Amino acid sequence: MDKKGRSRHFIYTDWILIETQFDPEQLHSKETVFTIGNGYLGTRGSFEEGYPQASPATFIHGVYDDVPVVYTELVNCPDWLPLVVIVNGDRFRLDQGEILRYDRQLDLRYGLISRSLRWRSPSGNTIDISFERFASLADPHVLALRCHLTAVDFDGLIEVQASINGYPENQGFNHWEGLDQGKTDQGIWLQRCTRNSRIELGMAAKVTILGTEASLQVNTAPGYPTLSTTFFAKAQQTVTVEKLVTVFTSREIETPVPAAQEKLAHLPDYATLLKANEQAWSEVWQQSDILIEGDSTAAFAVRYNLFQLLIAAPQHDDKVSIPAKTLSGFGYRGHIFWDTEIFMQPLFLFTQPAIARNLLSYRWHTLDGARRKAAHYGYKGAMFAWESAVTGDEVTPRWAIGSDFYGEDVRIWCRDHEIHINADIPYAIWNYWQATGDDEWMQKRGAEVILDAAIFWGSRVEFNPERQKYEIRGVIGADEYHEFVHNNAFTNRMAQWHLEKAIAVYDWLAQNFPERVRELEEKLKLTPEERSHWQDIIAKMLFFYDPLTELIEQFEGFFQLEDINLADYEPRDRSMQPILGMEKTNKSQVLKQPDVLMLLYLMRESADFPYNEKALQTSWDYYAPRTDITYGSSLGPAVEAILASDLGKSTEAYELFMRALMVDLEDNRGNTSDGIHGASAGGIWQAVIFGFGGIQLTENGPVANPHLPPGWTRLKFKLHWQGLWHDFDLHGEQVSPDITRQLEFLQLSLSPNPSLSPPLPTAQSPMPNIKGFIFDLDGVLTDTAELHYLAWKKLADEEGIPFNREANDALRGVSRRASLMLILGDRPYSEAQIQEMMERKNRYYVELMQNMTAKDLLPGAIAFLDELRQAGIKIGIGSGSKNARTVIERLGIGDKVDAIADGYSVEQPKPAPDLFLYAAKQLGIQPEESVVVEDAAAGVDAALAAGMWAVGLGPVERVGAANVVLPSLEGIKWADLKAKLSNIARQKHQGTDK
């Protein structure tokens, strides 16, 4: 069902945005909303005929020029849209005459804007006019526009003027010098050059008239070449005007004007170009589309936000990146922030990895600018600009000039103190490497960025001898309401994380590319002493948090600031900073955007310190109510939606998601006119995939653990990981990781009595109706205990900790973290060291696991599985291991398994019943219809707590609580086991009757 946006005159369908009424009050914001592009350029949704006070703009990647106060800005390029229609002497204008019918559409499938209207001129002539235009995705240098004209109730003269406007302005400032212009056999051309950066632009255009006899005239008024025609229109006769435009700049070719002329001369007709464009878009959407069923607004709006990122993404240029406002508006002057790497890049990383590589290569190309900034501030290495353009030098304006003529200018300190971007960029590079395995790019480019940026941290931190800790003082964190703070948790931990990865990258290079290591050591002056310094910083970085509650302090002294109740200031239509004033805001516990929560989100996927469930819950309870989520930063809602979803707050998660989703379509912050909120658009993709889709990245690729919002019946998408595509088609009826209600039901229905052990799965029927078996892997179908032992042994030996097979026996059925805690005993280790050791042990285990084959199945396992399948019994795997899928693949039993519940499926491990309940739900059976086969006491307890039958394999002292205890699966027949279960049920039932 279609749904109208509030007061925006919008209808949303699956793929098409429809505007039903023209509202001049929303002119500028709608120009942003109807932006089209092709990865080379973006054109705002201005009208072809123009409109008073309009802000038409076409931005081309990399075309920057100097400007007072703000250093440099993305240049508004010559306007290719102008097409004037004059009806019997009356110029068609929406602010004159009468609009009898109006409809404008943006078709996301093909990047196509169309506008259809009926207009009555001041003289009383009625005409139907329709426009259609696109920026070709098949050829980024081609732009196309078509206009249909139908006289409704008159015969008369119609004049059409198709022009190139060589006088575009950046909000009153013209960056272009006119060089030349002229005409060719095909049409007209224009040559322009930016005033300071000396980038040359060539644009050419031609016009074709269909449906009538008409000749074209050329007018080469300076800076405004025009092709015009006049024809006699008859009532109900349709005439079509096609305008094709080509554009090049000296960034990609030495002679842009001849290139534009040459391409124009060989262009096919509009219809052929449109078909090629449609084919190119079909290929992009095949990889990047997200299908949502059950929520029509979200279904369209998610695609809309993806579209706006896709049209701004450089497909063929690795020396540019996506500005914060994409290529859609004048906001932030086209500068590039951390928004690109942290918020926008994941979409491309998992659907268009070549584009993700281009975006990161931009940072490599701009390293010299980052080095110049570091040197300017007296530091070593590379210090990335908070706002960047072409060279990588800092272009954040030093001052913000307010609209108040008598007001004070405001100093912008982000350029000096918001330095977490120096770790944000390496964070994105590391994730690209993990997702793609692109070793060649990493050793040639990525490693240099990570290492040189790490050298900066080595010179930026300060050692506090009293605390015996390293500090980072005088910074601005992700929350920009507080300036000049010390030891911001986000900055300190990201710097520490960065140094950890820098050491890992160095070691990898040294092992695999020794010549490259020597080259970088010489170029960056990277010494063994520097790397030793990094290790010391990692071990001694100051971080404020309470180990008991795990509440993290945003920065040193934050808890001593004045608390603010945001509810006291509602309703409001602006952010808290102008309400409180900058000074009071800086002294209050109010946040512009998530800071601690943002840190937890970035550490979430890898479960790196300080992320864990308790820390997330504690931090959410404290910081979410203090965050100005409505009018602070648009970067916040999508991230908080993901975390709320993790915490089981489905209603709040959806509300936050919708706030981010509609930020431009509904202009709910009142600043859409500045351009698309690119970071929010990227956050939306992450909210859908990682939040509602529950995607987690494993050794075997992405795994879904969905918790779809209420009403969503289907979520379908695909992800690219390590060279392979993974398709996901998730449905609303799938189990959620939050199975609290199921557990409550089980507790009520089972009413366990301690005197009845083990409990009977069902009190209603004495005869079990078994429909499915759920097998643990280790010790049941295969024996990976030896692999685990060897991995733990290697780790323990490296750490100098005594460890033998007897100590290993205590780890059976215990989680990885709990096992490590048993091995470490009371030895002091930091959380970061614990996380690293867990990862190291798992790496050793995975390496050993690669040699597993079907020969590693335990005796009787395959025969019993085959017998169950022949009997029509469903088979599931319930293993707490995050490597379960790899084991199943190595054993060759994937075709015998109907469902897998592994370490990524639920949050609570055994002995909680969650894992087995999840498996039963996937199999489509009830708990009392399930038999769990386990070899560990924790697994048996989990099965019984879930209300399932438990079969224990092994000694009675370990699995004696199970309903049936067997030495192994060897020689076991389903008929015999079923008879045992029936006998137990009969005896229990008789005992109950007495």
d(CA 302, CA 292): 9
Q: For residues 817 and 819, what is the distance between their CA atoms, to the nearest angstrom?
A: 5
If DSSP states are collapsed to H, E and C, what string results for 686-713? HHHHHHHCCCEEECCEEECCCCCCCCCC
Chain position carrying tokens 């800086």 = 586
Cβ proximity of 496 and 832 under 8 Å: yes
Element of type H or E holding 508: helix 489-512
Alpha-carbon span 360 to 344, nearest angstrom = 12
CA distances from 897 to 411, 585, 703, 916, 963 (A): 63, 57, 16, 15, 24
Neighbours of 359 (CB within 10 A): 23
The Cα–Cα gap between 85 and 861 comes to 79
Tokens 């969905």, located at residue: 706
Q: Which tokens is 1 given?
A: 């069902």
Looking at residue 442, its amino acid is M
The tokens for 199 are 């980038």
* CA–CA gap between residue 885 and residue 297 (Å, rounded): 36
Q: Computed from CA positions of residues 471, 474, 479, 481, in that sequence, does the dihedral angle turn out positive or negative?
A: positive
Q: How far apart are the first and last CA of the chain?
A: 59
Number of neighbours of residue 398 by Cβ within 10 angstroms: 14
Distance CA 212, CA 156 (A): 13
Task: Give the dihedral of Cα atoms 32, 36, 42, 46; nearest 10 deg.
Answer: -50
Strand partners, 741: none
Q: Which of 646, 571, 691 is nearest to 298 (CA)?
A: 691
Element containing residue 118 per DSSP (H, E): strand 112-120
**Catalytic one among 159, 169, 480, 556?**
480
Identify whether the C-beta of residue 676 lies closer than 8 Å to the C-beta of residue 44.
Answer: no
Contact 55, 184 (CB under 8 A): no
123 Cβ contact partners less than 8 Å away, ≥ 6 residues apart: 87, 88, 89, 90
* Known catalytic residue at 480: yes
Tally of helices (H runs) and strands (E runs) in the chain: 32, 37
Taking the C-alpha atoms of residue 967 and residue 972, their distance in angstroms, rounded to an integer, is 10
CB distance 202 to 247 below 8 Å: yes
Contacts of residue 786, Cβ cutoff 8 Å, sequence gap at least 6: none
198: left (phi over 0), alpha (psi -120 to 50) or beta: left
Task: Tokens 């404020």: give the residue.
Answer: 544
Please choose, from the candidates 78, 584, 99, 41, the residue with its C-alpha nearest in 3D space to the C-alpha of residue 314: 41
DSSP letters along 473-490, please?
A: -SB--SSTTS-SBSS-HH
Cα–Cα distance between 476 and 198 in angstroms, integer? 36
The structure tokens 């002119």 sit at 27
Q: Are 121 and 92 in contact (CB under 8 A)?
A: yes
147 in helix, strand or coil?
strand
Cα separation values, 260 from 36, 205, 247, Å: 21, 9, 5
CA nearest to 628, candidates 683, 564, 686: 564
Which are the catalytic amino acids? 480
